[in-house]
Amino acid sequence: VLLGKKSLITAAKRTLGDLEPDQRREVGGHLNEARATIEGLVASRRTELEAATRAVRLEVERMDL
């Protein structure tokens, strides 16, 4: 929902053509920055979840022995 084809950021990017060039540059930069921030947060959380999953699997394997 945050980064897909139907996201608010994508919808906002579609309206950039209606803006003046200076506004387009500024708003486009903010949208790109927001997208990069969201992507970074998602990647960070994914890494945390993968690490937690590995830890649980290792604990389960240890208990099975």
> In terms of C-beta density within 10 A (0-12 exposed, 13-18 middle, 19 or more buried), how is residue 28 classed?
middle
pLDDT in tens, 31-50: 999 999 999 999 999 999 99
> What value does the mean pLDDT take over residues 11-28?
96
Alpha-carbon torsion angle 21, 23, 26, 32, nearest 10: -80
Span 11-37, average pLDDT: 97
Taking all residues of the chain, what is their mean pLDDT, rounded to a whole number? 94
The domain spans of the chain are: 8-64
Q: Using a cut of 0.85, tell me whether the model's pTM lies above it.
A: no
pLDDT at 53: 98
Q: What is the sign of the dihedral through the CA atoms of 27, 29, 33 and 36?
A: positive
